[in-house]
Amino acid sequence: MTRAGRGLWRGVWSSAGSCERAVAVLAISLASLLPLIAMVTRLAGVRGIPGSVVFVQQLTLWIAFVGAALAASGDQLLGMSANTFVPAKWAVPVRILGCGMTAAISASLCWASYQFVVSERSIGKTLALGVPNWVLALVMPVGFLLIALRAIRGAGACSRHRLAATLFLLAPLILSFAPRPEGPAILWIGIGVIVAGAVLGLPIFATLGGVALLLFWHIGQPAVVVPDNAYSLMVSEVLPSLPLYTLAGYLLVEGGASTRLLRVYAALFGWMPGGLAITTAITFAIFTFAGSGVTIVSMGGLMLPMLLKARYTKQFSIGLINGSGSLGLLFPPSLPVILYAIYAKTVQIDTLFVGGLVPGLLMVAMVSAWGAYQGVKSGAERSRFSFAEARQAVWIAKWELALPVIVIVGLFGGFGTLVEAGAIAVVYSFIAECWILRGISLRRDFPRVAVECVTMVGGVLLIIGVAKGLTYYLAIQDVPGILTNWVDLHIHSKYVFLLLLNIVLLVKGSFMDVFSAIIVMVPLIQPIAAKFGIDPVQMGVIFLANLELGYLTPPIGMNLCLSAYRFKQPMTAVYRATLPVYLILLAGVLLITYVPWLTTLPVKWLGM
């Protein structure tokens, strides 16, 4: 290609990226404002914006696919493996393989999404204000197309590498037009190739989506069922709360809330043995909104030097940060809890939060006790308690400390829905950090923060969307019924079942993110748990606590990979550092599993 041609293409990609970022900022801003307007007008007894709830749901769809396209442009799509074990001489072929497979699967999903849009247009369904449903659904094929093109572009700067990645597009074409073989050989070969790709760094959405497409192809079902199921999940009533609470968390971190809250906890607990370690556990638990990734990457670099300066060992400090990185998954407004309640349909979101409160505090207390022991053992520095310092720290952080109270009152006080409470969290965080504390600038910082949030959320929503298609296949093949029958024949004790469940979820959590694990595993486990009479709330807490620990489970638990990346440590060193905290949290998970009143008693006390 000539220099002028390359310049033209760079200009096209730059313009497309600018347009996507603008759409991302607009979509998440509207998704934050519309629920708040709906709540205020409802409480005031006046008519609000027609169809605002429906439009917020559609905006979530746009956030998902625009964010996923942005993630693809920055090579930020989540993978099951970072393929750091691949020798340098194989790096280019492996990258071509991963990008080619991603392009082929994305192109297949693009065509299936286009067929879904055509189907929606033929139905003629309209949303509020006369907006055709299919027009807003167009973001799905466009998003998958952009991901496919960017995957090819990401194969390398050399045109030869991009051409090699483009050739992978022949695979879905061949499968589409070739006669389907009688046996399952092609199916298993295809799944084996995809699994191998996942080990080498294939994005999670492509892994799950590719397997789903192959399974539907094998049984003669149209591929359109995958985007159909993704669409139905993304436009559900409660799912918009995920990007809203995530944006609130991003605004708080960007505005410096983590530093102010850290000062509060240091003032309150710094005088205790292991005070800084306790502060680390509590602070990380507070800021675990969408999982452990943001917490470890953003706050790990802040906490590690502080722990080392206080004379904690490096090995203990890294292990503590890893173990604390997902401690908040059971506390409001944890996104995995919200998603589990949405998808399980056997427990209310507020009930699940109440059920997870004591188990979550137990896990924090166990890690804090380990930190106190290590503080005494290593002679870590302790600060002298000062009432004046504690009072000043609390006063400075009063705006952040008030946020949980406002959200909980709004949610449990009957003033608004979960989505509206999320909108309150966003607007309040924005006002506090931008206008009152002036930690971020509306013009300079907010667009960047919004794009970062949409990019991260888009990658997650894309995963759970395609995972829903895989779950649909399991349902029509009656896999839950088959598993239930197998359990009937071979397992007769509830406690044996719970032990096996712990093992399966720990293994699953070590290589599958919590969101897709919820979508895939919950339909399989729920009927079996009901058969053994396990309380639905306890089942949810057990499930989430195990996946929380799965972040720390070798070989590729997410916390382990992120910590190795953030602190530039080999994986073996991270394994050794994390092992003591892992064993402590494993004991906590077993307590949660076999002592049901830890979960059920608070729910009964509150009459929920």
Cβ-proximal residues to 605 (8 Å cutoff; 6+ apart), any chain: none
Instruction: Give residue 235's pLDDT.
Output: 86
Q: Are residues 183 and 302 located together in one domain of the fold?
A: no
For residue range 154-205, list pLDDT tens digits in order: 887 788 888 888 898 888 888 877 777 777 888 888 889 998 888 787 888 8
Q: What is the pLDDT of residues 371-430, one digit of tens each?
A: 888 888 888 777 788 899 989 999 998 998 888 788 777 766 667 777 888 888 899 999
| Site of tokens 């306790």 | 278
Supply the mean pLDDT for the chain. 83
Residue 22 domain-assigned (yes or no): yes
> How many CA atoms does the CB half-sphere of 166 hold within 13 Å?
9
**248 and 220 in one domain?**
no
pLDDT band at 350 (very low <50, low <70, confident <90, very high): confident
**Per-residue pLDDT reduced to its tens digit, 263-309:** 888 888 888 888 888 888 888 887 765 444 556 766 777 778 888 88
Q: What pLDDT does 562 receive?
A: 65
Q: Which pLDDT does position 363 carry in this prediction?
A: 92
User: 145 and 294, same structural domain?
Assistant: no
Phi first, then psi: give them for residue 552, nearest 5 degrees: -105, 5
Q: Which residues contact 179 (CB under 8 A, 6 or more apart)?
A: none
H helices present in 379-513, as ranges: 387-396, 398-412, 418-430, 446-476, 479-490, 494-511
Examine the pLDDT at 10 and tell me if it is beyond 70: no
Residue 357 reports pLDDT greater than 60: yes
5 falls within a domain = no
Tell me 495's DSSP state: H
Co-location of 188 and 273 in the same domain: no
Q: Which of 240-254, 347-361, 493-507, 561-575 has the lowest mean pLDDT?
A: 561-575
Residue 364 lies inside a defined structural domain of this protein = yes
Q: How far apart are CA 165 and CA 357, in angstroms?
A: 48
pLDDT at residue number 272: 83
Let me know if residue 113 belongs to a domain.
yes
Q: Are 191 and 336 in a shared domain?
A: no
Q: In whole angstroms, what is the distance from residue 96 CA to residue 162 CA? A: 8
Give the contacts of 176 (CB within 8 A, at least 6 positions apart): none
Given a cut of 80, whether residue 27 has pLDDT beyond it is yes
Cα separation, 376 vs 369, in Å, equals 11
How far lies 183's CA from each of 8, 189, 223, 299, in Å?
A: 48, 12, 20, 52
Write down the pLDDT at residue 292.
47
From residue 496, give the alpha-carbon distance in Å to each of 228, 487, 491, 540.
38, 11, 7, 18
Q: Last residue of some domain: 234, 264, 281? A: 234
- Better-predicted residue by pLDDT, 261 or 580: 580
Together in a domain, 146 and 38: yes
Q: Are residues 222 and 281 in the same domain?
A: no
Where a domain ends, among 234, 263, 281? 234
Max intra-chain CA distance, the chain: 78
The residue type of 392 is Q
Q: Enter the DSSP assignment of 409.
A: H
Domain stop point among 207, 234, 261: 234
3-state secondary structure of 126: strand
CA distance 145 to 142: 5
pLDDT for the residue numbered 391: 92
Give yes or no: residues 229 and 252 share one domain. no
**For residue 594, is pLDDT > 50?**
yes
pLDDT (tens digit per residue) in 454-474: 998 888 788 888 888 888 888
Q: What is the pTM of this model?
A: 0.80
- Residue 362: inside a domain: yes
- Identify whether residues 206 and 274 lie together within a single domain: no
Same-domain status, 230 and 260: no
Indicate if the pLDDT at residue 505 is higher than 60.
yes
Q: Quick check: is 7 in a domain?
A: no
Find the length of the chain: 608
Residues 260 and 191 in one domain: no
In the structure, what pLDDT confidence band is assigned to residue 22 with cuts at 50, 70 and 90? very high
- How does residue 361 score in pLDDT terms, banded at 50, 70 and 90? very high
Long-range contacts of 488-497 (CB under 8 A, 24+ apart): 488/531, 494/532, 494/533, 494/534, 495/594, 497/528, 497/529, 497/532
What is the mean predicted confidence (pLDDT) over 110-118?
Answer: 94
Residue 4 forms part of a structural domain: no
Any domain includes 180:
yes
Residue 100 is part of which domain span? Answer: 15-234
Query: What was the pLDDT predicted at 358?
Result: 93
Write down the pLDDT at residue 290.
46
3-state secondary structure 288-350: CCCCCHHHHHHHHHHHHHHHHHCCCCHHHHHHHHHHHCCHHHHCCCCHHHHHHHHHHCCCCHH
How confident is the model over 508-516, as a mean pLDDT?
A: 68
Residues 215, 256 within the same domain: no
Task: Name the least confident of 77-91, 420-434, 528-542.
Answer: 77-91
Q: How many domains does the chain have?
A: 2
